[in-house]
A = this chain, B = another copy of it.
Amino acid sequence: MVSAVIVAAGQGTRMGPGVDKLFLEVAGRPVVAHTWAQFDAAGCVDEIVLVVREGMRGAFEELARQHGFRKPHRFVLGGKERQDSVWNGLATLSLQTEIVVIQDGARPCADEALIAATIAAARRTGAAVAAQRVTDTIKESDGGTRITRNVDRARLWSVQTPQTFRVEVIRRALAAVRERGLHVTDDTAACEWIGQPVELVEGITPNPKVTTPADLPYIEWLMRGGGD
């Protein structure tokens, strides 16, 4: 059985005060409704756990009604940091869950092909993450504004979500991080603490995240069929 955990408990501080990026409209729907719709439609996912902020459950239930989401889903409260929210999501998985797909609520373009590819890679290796090759020219600084090194981008990847794991792998990895009181910004970083290798799964189509309002026009264009 495959469960998805959609992390939708962040505050999105880069959007400015009072703006919840998950509920910004793009192509006629809130961002997080697109994300949910991808997982609702994906045949490779059996159930969905939504990690939400206190007081937000009603808004999400309204989304499910409006958009007719049919796949079994339930809610759990988010934690202090992203890793705490993921931890809470993992705690509610069905006993039969073998594979868990962790997804940022603010990343609405992850389609079924990408989700399925990370599931296949996680079954094979234990841990997999959607990623794209870095195409910008990258330099390393001295910590200030002086370039100290040209970085060879040939081996650099920008990682996204889905981040997909055998359940026991991500539970052990996050437990290791929590025991040490560490802070990780993505779940694959936790795997390092248990020596679990992570497989990069290159997406075919763009898979942007909404971080600032400037990200919306591009995402709207993608959703309207741009580039097809």
Residues of A within 8 A of B (CB): 129, 131, 134-143, 145-148, 150-151, 154-159, 185-186, 188-189, 192, 197-202, 206, 211-214, 217-218, 220-222, 226-227
Closest to A134 in B: B138
User: What is the oligomeric copy number?
Assistant: 2
Q: Which of A185, A217, A227 has the largest number of chain B CB atoms within 10 A?
A: A217
State the CA gap A220–B185 with chains docked (Å): 32
> Is A217 within 8 A of B214, CB to CB?
no
A86 vs chain B, min Cβ distance (A): 14
> Is A185 within 8 A of B137, CB to CB?
yes
A48 vs chain B, min Cβ distance (A): 24
User: Main SS of chain A's interface residues?
Assistant: mixed
Task: Pick the contact of A214: B151, B159, B218, B220 (CB < 8 A).
Answer: B218
> Is A140 within 8 A of B155, CB to CB?
yes
State the CA gap A141–B202 with chains docked (Å): 12
> Is A146 within 8 A of B189, CB to CB?
no
Closest to A211 in B: B135
State the CA gap A201–B159 with chains docked (Å): 26
